[in-house]
């Protein structure tokens, strides 16, 4: 059995997450038991939700245990199998965590899933045709429910979730307005992803300037908002919402390091009769087949575009993750392990 490199959560962040919260170790891979599969990971997915798991407080999921391998989605191939459903060489996606190999119980529901790489690259199963893509699909179609001609605003629009949301909104006949940090990201959102407009929150760095820019690109108001960021950007967007607007709350990355900024105008929820709904896509497994089918077809035919930032080697994962939390990535953040 191969030697395995792993990254553990060594201690919890006091305020901001740092590289010292993690520990790189080497360990022997255990021999397979009947029904188990050994997976060699090719790519590791880094995602904002991981920051919340590093804390010990109450959340929608259990905290990451100290001294254990950090949670994370992975794609790779089966290199040894003692399960009839999996063969050596099968490309698979799962939650293998921050490590080079994982031993998986093949009978455990949704622990490991075979995928086809005939029309899409393997790593896409961690991005546009994986959890981030399905997250965007669910929030847009089931909560935002855009109608042709309506305006959908998406924060973190150049990211792996936001980019999918805007492209799906456009495919359904809606206007897509993105929010991103920096001229390069905004240019990418408009020119490559096909959004109608994108606001650079770094250029318009205070609520008044941002609100003015938002009014210019959303002259008829906002009908739905896909929330990835939180903070003062949320307040500015809600001020432009139309009656009966829908807000899908996917993430609050601006608050993951402990920053707190209460909603300034909660009365707008009543005045504009807003529907605000948070969601966790893993609680809606029934929609995954439909979502993955549409996303896979769109990506394979070039109608869905996605960009990746790729760090090299497991040891690079902590710094790449910290960069993700500060918006240094461009598109889906991956770690290449082979």
In angstroms, rounded to a whole number, what is the distance separating the alpha carbons of residues 58 and 61?
8
In angstroms, rounded to a whole number, what is the distance separating the alpha carbons of residues 203 and 298?
33
Taking residues 12-31, report their average pLDDT: 95
Query: What are the structural domains, with CATH classification, of the chain?
Result: 3-127+306-336 (3.90.180.10), 131-282 (3.40.50.720)
Angstrom distances, CA of residue 160 to CA of 120, 176, 197, 314: 16, 16, 18, 21
Work out the mean pLDDT of the chain and round it to a whole number.
95
Q: Does 280 have pLDDT greater than 70?
A: yes
What are the two backbone dihedrals, phi and then psi, of residue 171, each rounded to the nearest 5 degrees?
Answer: -65, -20
Residue 109: its pLDDT value, please? 82
Q: What angle do CA 267, 271, 273 make, to 5 degrees?
A: 110
In angstroms, rounded to a whole number, what is the distance separating the alpha carbons of residues 124 and 308?
9
Q: Are 183 and 201 in contact (CB under 8 A)?
A: no
Residue 62: its pLDDT value, please? 85
Residue 180: CB partners within 8 Å, gap ≥ 6? Answer: 156, 157, 158, 162, 186, 188, 189, 198, 199, 200, 201
In tens, the pLDDT along 89-143 reads 999 999 999 999 999 999 998 889 999 999 999 999 999 999 999 999 999 999 9
For the entire predicted model, the pTM comes to: 0.92
Beta-strand pair 74-81/36-45: antiparallel
Residue 257: its pLDDT value, please? 60
Residue 90: CB partners within 8 Å, gap ≥ 6? Answer: 77, 78, 81, 114
Which pLDDT band holds residue 256 (cuts at 50, 70, 90)? low
Please tell me whether residue 171 adopts helix, strand or coil conformation. Answer: helix
In angstroms, rounded to a whole number, what is the distance separating the alpha carbons of residues 187 and 193?
9
In tens, the pLDDT along 208-240 reads 999 999 999 999 999 999 999 988 999 999 999
């Amino acid at each position: 059995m191969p030697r395995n490199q792993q990254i553990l959560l060594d201690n919890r962040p006091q305020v901001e997450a740092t590289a010292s919260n993690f520990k790189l170790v080497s360990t022997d891979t255990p021999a397979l038991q009947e029904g188990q599969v050994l997976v060699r990971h090719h790519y590791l997915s880094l995602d904002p939700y991981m920051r919340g798991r590093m804390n010990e407080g109450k959340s929608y999921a259990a905290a990451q245990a100290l001294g254990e391998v950090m949670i994370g989605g992975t794609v790779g191939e089966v290199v040894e199998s003692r399960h009839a459903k999996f063969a050596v060489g099968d490309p698979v996606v799962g939650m293998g965590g921050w490590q080079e190999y994982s031993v998986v119980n093949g009978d455990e529901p949704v622990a490991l899933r075979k995928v086809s790489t005939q029309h899409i690259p393997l790593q896409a199963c961690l991005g546009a045709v994986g959890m981030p893509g399905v997250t965007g699909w669910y929030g847009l179609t089931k909560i935002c429910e855009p109608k042709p001609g309506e305006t959908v605003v998406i924060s973190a629009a150049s990211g792996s979730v936001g980019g999918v949301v805007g492209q799906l909104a456009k495919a359904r006949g809606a206007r897509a307005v993105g929010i991103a940090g920096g001229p390069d990201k905004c240019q990418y959102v408009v020119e490559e992803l096909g959004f109608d407009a994108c606001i650079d929150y770094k250029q318009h760095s205070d609520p008044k300037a941002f609100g003015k820019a938002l009014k210019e690109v959303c002259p008829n108001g906002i009908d739905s908002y896909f929330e990835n960021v939180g903070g003062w950007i949320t307040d500015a967007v809600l001020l432009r919402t139309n009656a009966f607007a829908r807000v899908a709350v996917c993430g609050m990355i601006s608050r993951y390091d402990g920053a707190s900024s209460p909603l300034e105008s909660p009365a707008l929820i009543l005045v504009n009769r807003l529907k605000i709904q948070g969601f966790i896509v893993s609680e809606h497994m029934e929609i995954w087949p439909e979502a993955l089918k549409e996303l896979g077809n769109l990506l394979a035919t070039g109608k869905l575009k996605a960009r990746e930032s790729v760090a090299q080697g497991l040891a690079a994962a902590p710094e790449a993750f910290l960069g993700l939390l500060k918006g240094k990535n461009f598109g889906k953040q991956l770690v290449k392990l082979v």
